Amino acid sequence: MRTDGIGRGVVLALAVTAGLAGLPIARATTRAAGREMMRVEARAQHAAPLPAFATRLSEGGGVPSRGTLPSSIRASRASLREADGASLPSYVRAGRTPILAGSAQKQFQNTVFDDKLGRGYRFQRGGWTYVHLEGGPHDIGVQHGYLLATEIADGFEALRLEMTHATGRDWEFFRRAAREMLWPKIDPEYQQELQGITDGLNDHGVKLDLWDVVAMNANSELPDYYVPWLDAREKAENRPEPVVHVGQTVQLDNIGVPGGSGIGGGIEENFDHCSAFVATGSWTKDHQIVMAHNNWTTYIEGSRWNIIFDIVPRKGYRILMDGFPGVIASNDDFGVNSAGMMITETTISNFHGWDPAGKPEFVRARKAMQYADSIDSYVQIMRDGNNGGYANDWLLGDRKTGEIARFELGLKHWKVWRTKDGYFSGANFPSDPELIRDETTFDPNRPSSSPNARRVRWDELMSANKGKIDPAMAEGFLADHYDTFTKKEGPDMRTLCGHGDAVPPSDPDARGKAFDPFGAVEGKVVDSGMAQTMSFIARIGHPCGANFNAAKFLEAHQEYAWESPVLRDMDAGPWTAFHSGEHAGQ
């Protein structure tokens, strides 16, 4: 966002006008100038038009009067007035505009303070968009929806195409599941936040409703867990076998589902998402916790998975996490909270199970990050109402005690391993024999599989570097391109930094998905010292630094032409530090 030239002139003119009119300058300039600054930022940073269902606020429209403000904004203002004024920035309490002169102006040059948005603001750095959200649940939602309206509208189009293409179900199917199955199970706090996101979007002119937003938040569990469960149930009802009842776990052996099947033939369904580790004690350089994670997903999503959320809720602990625009949980689940918890996960491959009576995973994951103050409390929150959706191996650290844990959560089975001297790695491999047997079709003995090959590589790197592991070394681990199956250096889907677009049809683990634009799309690293100051370092794009060119890829691989409306370049940025409560220029 720009504050020089016309942007600065608008701010100064508004300040003078407000002063002559006898209005409180801080409020008038913060509201009106903040709106104008957001328009300037939108023109500079988001030149591409919004999707057809979205419209921008009128460039020439004035700031609505107090009486004409939307109800969501009036509610946000009211809660702001109720909040403790001492927690506001000092320059706001003193009645000064946040657009300051000299070096201070540079310090806050990309920060938006708008009376309409309470304490919410955003800025960009290193390819990421940092968003600060603060207040009650609805306030946080309004800030989220309004500040990221353009990104959410764009992300919605991408997710809608992926979800409908992968499952063969139309978007109304997902809206109905969000409304009838998920919404009644969502905690009131997060219902308010989701409604706030919707209100913020609508106030910015984006025509999405609540069920679009809820379905978007369930973009992992609905297509990948609920739909296969439903397909299996519907197939069971059409054959002379016992009908699967609501609440019953379903194994997908010999059942074909869109995008893959169980043991019975076709493409084996895989969820190869993410590489991660956590280490502590004698394994790390300073004997404190080091944690690292790279997010594996489609390049469609990866090019948009570029938000750093700094959330200060009225209840619970402060959160710093990465995330996808419009989603209330991290969704690749990397973050820290002010209670000292360090959190990440990798998905359990070939997991099959769903309980429609359970609580959505994205709600439980957000709640655990917001309220957990120990490994035990994290486990308890995630188990409460478990629906089996987005089943993960959680890697946890408590910087207060130096203890780390692996928490494997299926639907029927769960288990926790913990230590104060050791490491746990994640590469989508389950560890509990009972869970593997009862809830997956995962083969732990196939060395060509991505999870097994990456597990071997993690063990090699940990053992070779015992006592030396630190954040700088962790960055290198996330960029690693050694394939333990082929014994060769080069990116593919068996390397810690995954590149599905580099996998040829001849690869034994291609399984019908050669040259898939899928893999590691960003990386994050944190240690105990960073967690204590609510900070971490992150790199957008492939952690190895390679760039992805969408046009060249689509020209070479017409089989992925269906992605062309939303597939775009994914450039790697630098490793960049972020901390809670910061502003641009700090």
- pLDDT for 240 equals 54
Q: Could you give the CA distance from residue 85 to residue 280 in angstroms, rounded to a whole number?
A: 40
Angle at CA of residue 196, ends 192 and 200, nearest 5°: 175
Q: Could you give the CA distance from residue 182 to residue 176 in angstroms, rounded to a whole number?
A: 9
- pLDDT for 271 equals 54
What mean pLDDT, rounded, does the chain reach? Answer: 81
Angle at CA of residue 164, ends 161 and 170, nearest 5°: 120
Residue 509 has pLDDT above 70, yes or no: yes
Least confident of 64-78, 405-419, 533-547: 64-78
Q: Label the pairing between strands 128-135 and 341-347.
A: unpaired
Q: For residue 197, what are the CA distances in angstroms to 250, 319, 370?
A: 34, 18, 18
The CATH number that domain 269-305+340-364+377-547+574-579 falls under is 3.60.60.30
Mean pLDDT of 358-382: 98
Q: What is the pLDDT of residues 332-346, one digit of tens each?
A: 999 999 999 999 999
Q: How confident is the model at residue 508 (pLDDT cuts 50, 70, 90)?
A: confident
Q: What is the pLDDT of residues 238-264, one digit of tens each?
A: 865 444 343 444 444 333 333 332 222
Q: Could you give the CA distance from residue 33 to residue 46 in angstroms, rounded to a whole number?
A: 19
Phi, psi of 276 (to 5 degrees): -160, 160
Contacts from 555-560 at CB under 8 Å and sequence distance 24+? 556/515, 557/501, 557/515, 559/515, 560/515, 560/516, 560/517
Q: Which two tokens stand for residue 119?
A: 């304490």
**Closest C-alpha among 517, 505, 527 to residue 569:** 517
Q: How confident is the model at residue 513 (pLDDT cuts 50, 70, 90)?
A: confident
Mean pLDDT of 169-175: 98
Cα dihedral sign for 91, 94, 99, 102? negative
- pLDDT for 100 equals 22
Residue 444 has pLDDT above 50, yes or no: yes
Say if residues 296 and 317 touch (Cβ distance below 8 Å): no
Q: Which two tokens stand for residue 234?
A: 């519907």
Task: Tell me how crowded residue 42 is: count the other CB atoms within 10 A of its CB.
Answer: 18
Q: Which three-class secondary structure state does DSSP give residue 428?
A: coil
Least confident of 20-34, 161-175, 288-302: 20-34
Q: Which residue has the tokens 């139309």?
A: 170
Q: Which two tokens stand for residue 526?
A: 């944190």
Q: How confident is the model at residue 510 (pLDDT cuts 50, 70, 90)?
A: confident
Strand order across the beta sheet in which 128-135 lies: 121-125, 128-135, 307-313, 319-323, 335-337, 341-347, 392-398, 403-409, 414-419
Residue 199 has pLDDT above 50, yes or no: yes
Q: Which three-class secondary structure state does DSSP give residue 249?
A: coil
- pLDDT for 191 equals 98
Q: How far is CA 158 from the centre of its chain?
A: 15
- pLDDT for 35 equals 41
- The whole model's pTM is what? 0.80
Give 292-361 as a 3 state SS string: EEEEEEEHHHHCCCCEEEEEEECCCCCEEEEECCCCCCCCCCCEEECCCEEEEEEECCCECCCCCCCECH
Q: What is the pLDDT of residues 457-499, one digit of tens each?
A: 999 999 999 999 999 999 999 999 999 999 999 999 999 999 9
Mean pLDDT of 450-454: 96
Least confident of 78-82, 209-213, 318-322, 383-387: 78-82
Which residues, at least 6 apart from 520, have a Cβ–Cβ distance to it below 8 Å? 275, 294, 295, 296, 478, 496, 497, 498, 499, 542, 543, 544
**Closest C-alpha among 444, 458, 330, 349 to residue 393:** 349
Q: Label the pairing between strands 128-135 and 307-313.
A: parallel
- pLDDT for 273 equals 82
Exposed, middle or buried, 367 (CB in 10 Å: 0-12/13-18/19+)? buried
Letter string b/e over residues 284-309, b meaning 16 or more CB atoms within 10 A of that residue's CB: bbeebbbbbbbbbbbbbbbbbbbbbb
- pLDDT for 428 equals 96
Residue 40 has pLDDT above 50, yes or no: no
Which residues, at least 6 apart from 22, have a Cβ–Cβ distance to it below 8 Å? none
Q: How far is CA 276 from the centre of its chain?
A: 15
Say if residues 483 and 492 touch (Cβ distance below 8 Å): yes
Give 530-545 as a 3 state SS string: HHHCCEEEEEECCCCC
Q: What percent of the chain lies above the pLDDT cut of 90?
A: 71
Cα dihedral value 328, 330, 331, 335, nearest 10:
-150
Q: What is the pLDDT of residues 224-233, one digit of tens each?
A: 999 999 999 9
Q: For residue 156, what are the CA distances in angstroms to 28, 201, 301, 324, 474?
A: 33, 12, 10, 10, 33
Task: Tell me how crowded residue 505 is: count the other CB atoms within 10 A of its CB.
Answer: 9
Letter string b/e over residues 445-459, b meaning 16 or more CB atoms within 10 A of that residue's CB: eeeebbbbbbbbbbe
Residue 347 has pLDDT above 70, yes or no: yes
- pLDDT for 80 equals 34
Task: Tell me how crowded residue 506 is: count the other CB atoms within 10 A of its CB.
Answer: 7
Give Dmax over CA atoms of the chain in angstroms: 81
Q: What is the DSSP string of 506-570?
A: TSTT-TT-TT-SEEEEEEEEEEHHHHHTTEEEEEES-TT---B-HHHHHHH-GGGGGGTTT---B
Q: What is the DSSP string of 97-158?
A: -S--SHHHHHHTTT----GGGTT-EEEEETTEEEEEEEESHHHHHHHHHHHTHHHHHHHHHH
Q: What percent of the chain lies above the pLDDT cut of 70?
A: 74
Length of the chain: 586
DSSP lists the bridge partners of residue 381 as none
**Closest C-alpha among 145, 110, 142 to residue 129:** 110
Which sequence spans correspond to the domains of the chain? 269-305+340-364+377-547+574-579
